Amino acid sequence: MLLLQRAVVSEFRQACRLKSTPSKLCIRACSTNDSFQPQCPSLTFSGNNSSTRGWRVTGTLLGLGAVLAYYDYRCKAAQESPRIYTREEVRSHSSPETRIWVTLGSEVFDVTEFVDLHPGGPSKLMLAAGGPLEPFWALYAVHNQSHVREILAQYKIGELSPEDKVPSTLKTSDPYADDPIRHPALKVNSQRPFNAEPPSELLTENYITPNPIFFTRNHLPVPNLDPETYRLHVVGPPGGQSLSLSLDDLYQFPKHEITVTLQCAGNRRSEMTQFKEVRGLEWSTGAISTAHWAGARLCDVLAQAGHQLCETEAHVCFEGLDSDPTGTAYGASIPLARAMDPEAEVLLAYEMNGQPLPRDHGFPVRVVVPGVVGARHVKWLGKLSVEPEESYSHWQRRDYKGFSPSVDWDTVDFDSAPSIQELPVQSAITEPKDGETVESGEVTVKGYAWSGGGRAVIRVDVSLDGGLTWQVAELDEEEQRPRKAWAWRLWQLQAPVPAGKKELNIVCKAVDDSYNVQPDTVAPIWNLRGVLSNAWHRVHVHVHAAP
Amino acid sequence: MLLLQRAVVSEFRQACRLKSTPSKLCIRACSTNDSFQPQCPSLTFSGNNSSTRGWRVTGTLLGLGAVLAYYDYRCKAAQESPRIYTREEVRSHSSPETRIWVTLGSEVFDVTEFVDLHPGGPSKLMLAAGGPLEPFWALYAVHNQSHVREILAQYKIGELSPEDKVPSTLKTSDPYADDPIRHPALKVNSQRPFNAEPPSELLTENYITPNPIFFTRNHLPVPNLDPETYRLHVVGPPGGQSLSLSLDDLYQFPKHEITVTLQCAGNRRSEMTQFKEVRGLEWSTGAISTAHWAGARLCDVLAQAGHQLCETEAHVCFEGLDSDPTGTAYGASIPLARAMDPEAEVLLAYEMNGQPLPRDHGFPVRVVVPGVVGARHVKWLGKLSVEPEESYSHWQRRDYKGFSPSVDWDTVDFDSAPSIQELPVQSAITEPKDGETVESGEVTVKGYAWSGGGRAVIRVDVSLDGGLTWQVAELDEEEQRPRKAWAWRLWQLQAPVPAGKKELNIVCKAVDDSYNVQPDTVAPIWNLRGVLSNAWHRVHVHVHAAP
């Protein structure tokens, strides 16, 4: 029986590798209240035109596997009677050593034996270890089938204690107490303010990053804003009228939709830290995500307020409704020329992947500045004005700037460097992960590549030998609009593992349409804030000895 | 006497280092017939607001030195009677071993003893060794003073033979026979077609490159066009009128003036060749120059012909009046969006540094596409049209594209890469030169930095130890217009030579305002055509042992 079941799983795996296998991956975009009930999927992505989307699982094979697994494990359920566990107890079972428990509703399951059989791969299931399955099933609606529940039923070991059936709330004296509940898959770099990134194995699973795992970079507590009373204050030109726009007012402007990748200036900072200490959050490769945004164009709103492009340099200053205990709000600015240029497509966005913005991403309105560093995409936007100077905020003038490796905190002169606007060309490997063991034979390398300023990525070179020789990766087929390539390209390379190799030093580097390239190494671009970390991405893996 | 004279020269040298010393450097811009009489300077640059312009020589000290030198050498002239030499004989005296001869008019001088005393530095005088002084005196009008002629008179050793007083003409059967006469300072990479670059020590002597030494990249013989009968054919839109514009017609459009750096895609190719052979001319660091251009804006001319920006991608195709024996003309194209954007400032230029274009640079009209590779700045412009596709010319489709290092001539697919338009960030060291010996104590490093697409250079880092530690160079004060930084920045660093060092590995790297940086090494950006060579520039020098 076990042998038969193994054979079926092996078939699952083969199905996963078939590029042409049609598959549907349903992703529930996060709604404003950020809850994770695996209810009706509201966005459906067809995965059959892209090799990077979704799991390669056929419903037929899954169904067959489920039936076989059902018979294999039904006796187990009959023999054990349910016990009561606390969430704390469940959390302590999150590794093969302690066994791997998960919950669904009020039920507790020990899925240790199933991890290696999980059609999406063991690492995906391990993301839920010690916690609830709902947030992951909400992402991957393929689970919402009766035979999947039947498989799971075989692993049930008990029930959650009644007081643990709803998550505990945060203390109310905490300024962050009102922050939304987040997806447990996020790798948290800081709880307060909340800063988190999707794990590498989920990051490039989809071209569009699902809202619940879109990287989150907050500087302050998340404001809880009432969409009914929300107003955006648009300061008019000298002698002109200011505007106070409700959400309904913003909906009256032509709705503009674009797919845009956002990247934090600190993405991949952890690689700089490895060379020499920097000040900043330890972002790995995940401080970057892509969404489809909709909203009013900033140029339309500025025009309505009577603003015009002027000969002298000017800036549009944004103020968020998030603030610190002294009342200082988050702020940033962009040049007026970009703001007024219809081709630059700067948005006051109120939708993210077809849903109202999630609270963590600026509900009800945020700025989206295509091709520009995340720090200028001000969330919870409360006010905008046109000024002769850049925003005087800390984040515009005393942060988010690049310096020479020779500059330290004793010698830094923040006025000597321009604020980061457009970002340089970037790429990273998301599969395999550093330290992983890959099979001999063939290796699949996957990742993302992106460049600032609307410059399209035209090529990604991948090396398996630390940069001595290179192969050209296959890029996704997503449309790249000339001068408006605002979103990343996902890429992959399938290449033979050179015979006899016990390890691989995998490297990637991207080229954009200005033929800018990434620098070879981190040390010469090191800077005291650890921003702009775009050296070649390097991953070291072991090769599993052939049997 | 000799000691006194040495002391004066030492004062010259000190004056050279004084940043605040006012100096005038007069440069005669090249006229259309490319002759080099050192007559009335038509362009005067004030050097007192920039440390990188001109020689730091005071007229007073020069005068004093001349008087002293006059007494020192007058007896020499009296003792030797003039002899007759051929140009061939003069040419053979171009090194300290053979002695260093130069000519002025019909006179021949042996300046071997003066080389080390030359206020502009020995290397500048050596550029004229074995040939005429006129082209260099035309560049540096400071020589046009009676006391300079008096110094020179002391070194006279004879006269040119009568038949050698005018340069020999080229054979008339040669398709290149009608090419203009070029400045002898140019380092020639190919005579036919003519391709040449200014020597490193002249390249960054001036922010604006004098016309006679502006790098020249010709693909075909230089056409000899009559400005009276010249016409530019502008193909009209479907159903519209075409235009045939004379030079006078072009002068009727608003005259637009901009300072723009042009760079050949092959600049610094010789560094790629050192790694692995490529096909292409062996450019050093001088396939880049800067001029002040004036002409009609392409967008104005296109508008007059009835062209409009369209929703679908389109291209403006240019055709030169230079052609090969089969009649195939040089051609290239740029996207219509750039051509129609007034902010992109694409010119149909008829003036270069205040003069009609020199023949080598496209007389009477060339395209200037700020921020874009030189190959698109079509010279001797004969025709332009708006097309749904890029130019079908060899130079657009089968050349001037970048590829992965893994691509060779057996595997290259030219259609797989976009044509080069905007160039990546670039910088190079022009002083000291590779292999030179520098004094212990302090070293002065000079160079240029530039980026494509109007992106300003915001920082240049210089290392004296091969890239382990860095210092920030001082940038010139030239205006950098936001998004329209079309011209290079000259930079310099004065730094102590670390005690005990016998050699220095000097490296430079630039950062632009998108925070793109240059790659560390050449090998990973190597490509079969040797274009886009923008790795860190490295110069190895010896340090003169302290006395």
* E strand or H helix that includes residue A511: strand A503-512
3-state secondary structure of B11: helix
CB A118 within 8 A of CB A129: no
Distance from CA of A444 to the nearest CA of B (A): 19
Which residues are registered as beta bridge partners of A17? none
Residue range B288-313: mean pLDDT, rounded: 95
In the prediction, which pLDDT does A141 show? 66
Dihedral (CA of B257, B385, B220, B264) sign: positive
Find the DSSP H helices in B412-539.
Answer: none
Check pLDDT > 80 for residue A340: yes
Dihedral (CA of A27, A31, A34, A38) sign: negative
Helix-helix angle B59-79:B146-153, to 10 degrees: 30
Which residues are registered as beta bridge partners of B163? none
Please list the active-site residues of B: 118, 143, 217, 264, 400
In the prediction, which pLDDT does B137 show? 82
- Which among A514, A518, A527, A536 is the top mutation candidate for probing chain B, defined by the most B β-carbons within 10 Å of its own β-carbon? A514
CB A132 within 8 A of CB A104: yes
Burial of B137 (0-12, 13-18, 19+ CB in 10 A): buried
In the prediction, which pLDDT does B431 show? 96
pLDDT tens, A319-338?
999 998 788 999 999 999 99
3-state secondary structure of A302: helix
Question: Nearest 5 degrees, angle CA B55-CA B57-CA B63?
Answer: 140
- Which among A316, A517, A520, A533 is the top mutation candidate for probing chain B, defined by the most B β-carbons within 10 Å of its own β-carbon? A517
- Which among A515, A528, A532 is the top mutation candidate for probing chain B, defined by the most B β-carbons within 10 Å of its own β-carbon? A515
- CA B214 to chain centroid, in Å, comes to 4
Distance from CA of A301 to the nearest CA of B (A): 23
Question: For B481, which residue in chain A has the nearest alpha carbon?
Answer: A313
CB A463 within 8 A of CB A511: no
Helix-helix angle A59-79:A2-17, to 10 degrees: 150
B515/A420 Cβ within 8 A: yes
B255-263 and B288-297 strand pairing: antiparallel
In the prediction, which pLDDT does A363 show? 98
Residue range A456-471: mean pLDDT, rounded: 98
Ramachandran area for residue B260 (φ above 0: left; ψ -120 to 50: alpha; else beta): beta
In the prediction, which pLDDT does A167 show? 54
Measured CA to CA in angstroms, residue B93 lies from A145, B38, B120, B124, B182 at distances of 92, 24, 21, 16, 21
Cα(B305)–Cα(B339) distance, rounded to whole angstroms? 13
CB B313 within 8 A of CB B368: no
- CA B377 to chain centroid, in Å, comes to 16
Cα(B422)–Cα(B291) distance, rounded to whole angstroms? 18
Cα(B319)–Cα(B381) distance, rounded to whole angstroms? 6
Whether B453 contacts chain A with CB within 8 A: yes
CB B159 within 8 A of CB B82: yes
Check pLDDT > 70 for residue B221: yes
Whether B390 contacts chain A with CB within 8 A: no
Which residues are registered as beta bridge partners of B262? B289
For a pLDDT cut of 90, what percent of chain B falls above it?
72
Please list the active-site residues of A: 118, 143, 217, 264, 400
Cα(B463)–Cα(B504) distance, rounded to whole angstroms? 9
ipTM, interface predicted TM-score of the complex: 0.79
Strands ordered across the beta sheet of A329-335: A243-245, A232-234, A381-387, A315-323, A329-335
Cα(B405)–Cα(B416) distance, rounded to whole angstroms? 14
In the prediction, which pLDDT does B77 show? 45
Phi, psi values for residue B269, rounded to 5°: -60, -35
* E strand or H helix that includes residue B460: strand B457-463
In the prediction, which pLDDT does A57 show? 33
CB B528 within 8 A of CB B279: yes
Contacts of B295 (CB under 8 A, 6+ apart): B250, B255, B256, B347, B348, B349, B350, B351, B365, B368
User: Mean pLDDT lowest for which of A223-227, A441-445, B37-41, B97-101?
Assistant: B37-41
A423/B515 Cβ within 8 A: yes
Residue range B27-51: mean pLDDT, rounded: 36
Top pLDDT among A214 and A38 is at: A214
In the prediction, which pLDDT does B286 show? 98
Nearest to B423 among A472, A509, A514 (CB): A514
Rounded (10°) CA dihedral A466, A472, A477, A478? 50
Residue numbers in A near B407 (CB within 8 A): 472
CB B269 within 8 A of CB B284: no
Nearest to A470 among B404, B420, B469 (CB): B404
B518/A422 Cβ within 8 A: no
Cα(A298)–Cα(A295) distance, rounded to whole angstroms? 9
The structure tokens 């024996």 sit at B325
User: Mean pLDDT lowest for which of A127-141, B412-426, B498-512?
Assistant: A127-141
Cα(B354)–Cα(B45) distance, rounded to whole angstroms? 12
pLDDT tens, A397-433?
999 999 999 999 999 999 999 999 999 999 999 999 9
* E strand or H helix that includes residue A339: helix A336-340
User: Mean pLDDT lowest for which of A73-87, A475-489, B121-135, B230-244?
Assistant: A73-87
A507, two tokens: 């490297």
Distance from CA of A164 to the nearest CA of B (A): 50
A422/B470 Cβ within 8 A: no
In the prediction, which pLDDT does A55 show? 36
pLDDT tens, A201-211?
899 999 999 99
Cα(B391)–Cα(B497) distance, rounded to whole angstroms? 52
SS3 per residue for B156-224: EEEEECHHHCCCCCCCCCCCCCCCCCCCCCCEEEECCCCEEECCHHHHCCCCCCCHHHCCEECCCCCCC
Residue range A63-88: mean pLDDT, rounded: 56
Q: How confident is the model at residue A81 (pLDDT cuts 50, 70, 90)?
A: low
Whether A516 contacts chain B with CB within 8 A: yes
- Which among B334, B407, B514, B528 is the top mutation candidate for probing chain A, defined by the most A β-carbons within 10 Å of its own β-carbon? B514
Residue numbers in B near A424 (CB within 8 A): 514-517
In the prediction, which pLDDT does B503 show? 97
- Tell me how far apart the 2 most distant CA atoms of chain B are, in Å: 83
Whether B310 contacts chain A with CB within 8 A: no
**Which of A533, A511, A515 lies closest to A524, judged by CA?**
A533
In the prediction, which pLDDT does A27 show? 34
Question: For B508, which residue in chain A has the nearest alpha carbon?
Answer: A524
Check pLDDT > 90 for residue B224: yes
Whether B47 contacts chain A with CB within 8 A: no
Cα(B478)–Cα(B50) distance, rounded to whole angstroms? 9
A421/B513 Cβ within 8 A: yes
In the prediction, which pLDDT does B79 show? 52
Cα(B497)–Cα(B502) distance, rounded to whole angstroms? 10
For a pLDDT cut of 70, what percent of chain B falls above it?
83
CB A143 within 8 A of CB A128: no
Strands ordered across the beta sheet of A503-512: A437-439, A537-544, A503-512, A457-463, A471-472
Measured CA to CA in angstroms, residue A421 lies from A277, A343, B131, B387, B459 at distances of 24, 16, 52, 34, 16
Cα(A155)–Cα(A144) distance, rounded to whole angstroms? 17
Whether A511 contacts chain B with CB within 8 A: yes
Contacts of B449 (CB under 8 A, 6+ apart): B425, B426, B427, B457, B460, B475, B488, B489, B491, B508, B510
Phi, psi values for residue B123, rounded to 5°: -65, -30
Whether B423 contacts chain A with CB within 8 A: yes
In the prediction, which pLDDT does A120 show? 78
Residue range A182-193: mean pLDDT, rounded: 94
CB A296 within 8 A of CB A250: yes
pLDDT tens, B315-349?
999 999 999 878 899 999 999 999 999 999 999 99
Top pLDDT among B283 and B59 is at: B283
In the prediction, which pLDDT does B225 show? 97
Burial of B185 (0-12, 13-18, 19+ CB in 10 A): buried
pLDDT tens, A230-255?
999 999 999 888 999 999 999 999 99
**Which of A158, A145, A160, A159 lies closest to A70, judged by CA?**
A145
- H and E: helices and strands count for chain A: 12, 29
Question: For B473, which residue in chain A has the nearest alpha carbon?
Answer: A404
Q: How confident is the model at residue A166 (pLDDT cuts 50, 70, 90)?
A: low
- The set of long-range contacts for A142-145, using a CB threshold of 8 Å and a minimum separation of 24, is A142/A24, A142/A25, A142/A26, A142/A55, A142/A57, A142/A62, A143/A38, A144/A26, A144/A38, A144/A41, A145/A59, A145/A62
